[in-house]
Amino acid sequence: MAQSRTAVGFGKTTRRDAWWLELIPVVIVLGAFSVYATVRAFEGAYYEWGPYLSPFYSPLIDAHHRWWPFSPAILILGGPLGFRATCYYYRKAYYRAFFLDPPACAVGESRPHRYSGETRFPFILQNLHRYFLYLALIFLIILWYDAVRAFWFDGRLGIGVGSLVLLANIVLLSLYTFSCHSLRHIVGGKVDCFSCVTFGGPRHAAWRGTSFLNEHHMLFAWLSLCSVGLADFYIRLVATGTILDLRLL
Ligand code: FES
């Protein structure tokens, strides 16, 4: 039964399930990733080894500090960060888990009368998501290049555990990007009649593909978040000499 928003106070609800349980993994995983990524981005070291380059530092710009005295990761951080921060799924997740605004569906929020959606600063900036998507597609090409390069050791084809780690990461990042709501809209979400528009057939096929992936966007969001962090962590371990990269070929 629908309930009046004004009739409930913060955290009040008629729901009987443990709605708050789903906030806990978001706080833990997203919180831990944010802290780790920030520390690593500012560390400015141990981001490459052999043919491996950490995704936090790719594309690598001014690694020798000719004109940029700080960590090279800071120069490129805005692209992936903006893409994730404005993602429709993550917005829902962190509005609930960190702002408790609202904490969950049909659960009272703290400021029920001041809701203005995303029409005012700073949240109006969330509408830049489409433009961050264009940037993300460029990053994707660069990271695919890095993943392929990770199979190239001293001019020869080879396979190390790091090669597979970077390959798994870029596959998950591609699934995350190609399941994006904005991308689905761009390729065909606003078309009413595919047979009436230019390239209607290919657009319909692309729309069906993105629609299929889009159903799993939340899963890809989490898997790719973990894979980026783990890929960087693996390269850091190898670069610091903590572990040896196992060569499989
Ligand atoms: Fe999540 Fe676009 S909606 S990446």
What is the arithmetic mean of pLDDT over 32-39? Answer: 98
Atom of ligand 1 nearest to the CA of 180: 2
* Residue closest to 229 by CA, chosen among 179, 172, 183: 172
- Asked whether the predicted pLDDT for residue 5 surpasses 70, the reply is no
Instruction: Quote the CA–CA distance of 121 and 93 in Å, as a whole number.
Output: 20
What are the residues facing 49 on neighbouring strands? 52
How far does residue 40's CA lie from ligand 1's centre (Å)? 24
Q: Which residue type sits at 66?
A: R
Burial of residue 26 (CB within 10 Å: 0-12, 13-18, 19+) is: middle
Residue 158 is given by DSSP the state: -
Ligand 1 site, residue 144, Cβ cutoff 6 A:
no
Ligand 1 site, residue 204, Cβ cutoff 6 A:
no
DSSP letter string, 24-53: HHHHHHHHHHHHHHHHHHHH--S-EETTEE
pLDDT of residue 12: 83
Instruction: Kindly report which listed range (10-24, 79-93, 144-158) carries the lowest average pLDDT score.
Output: 10-24
- Asked whether the predicted pLDDT for residue 112 surpasses 80, the reply is no
How far does residue 207's CA lie from ligand 1's centre (Å)? 15
Q: Which residues contact 97 (CB under 8 A, 6 or more apart)?
A: 23, 26, 27, 30
pLDDT digits (tens, 9 = 90+) for 218-239: 999 999 999 999 999 999 999 9
How far does residue 180's CA lie from ligand 1's centre (Å)? 4
- Asked whether the predicted pLDDT for residue 6 surpasses 50, the reply is no
pLDDT of residue 38: 97
Atom of ligand 1 nearest to the CA of 88: 3
Q: Hey, what are 61's tokens?
A: 């710009």
pLDDT of residue 101: 83
pLDDT of residue 115: 65
Ligand 1 site, residue 225, Cβ cutoff 6 A:
no
pLDDT of residue 14: 85
- Asked whether the predicted pLDDT for residue 4 surpasses 70, the reply is no
Q: pTM for the whole thing?
A: 0.92
Q: Which residues contact 1 (CB under 8 A, 6 or more apart)?
A: 14
Ligand 1 site, residue 173, Cβ cutoff 6 A:
no
Q: Which residues contact 30 (CB under 8 A, 6 or more apart)?
A: 90, 93, 94, 97, 98, 225
What is the arithmetic mean of pLDDT over 175-188? Answer: 96
Indicate the helix (H) or strand (E) that contains 80: helix 78-85
Nearest CA to ligand 1 atom 2: 180
pLDDT band, very low/low/confident/very high, at 168 (cuts 50, 70, 90): very high
Q: Which residue type sits at 189?
A: G
Q: Hey, what are 91's tokens?
A: 């917005």
pLDDT digits (tens, 9 = 90+) for 55-105: 999 999 999 999 999 999 999 999 999 999 999 999 999 999 998 888 888
pLDDT band, very low/low/confident/very high, at 7 (cuts 50, 70, 90): very low
How far does residue 218's CA lie from ligand 1's centre (Å)? 9
What is the arithmetic mean of pLDDT over 188-208? Answer: 90
Atom of ligand 1 nearest to the CA of 87: 1
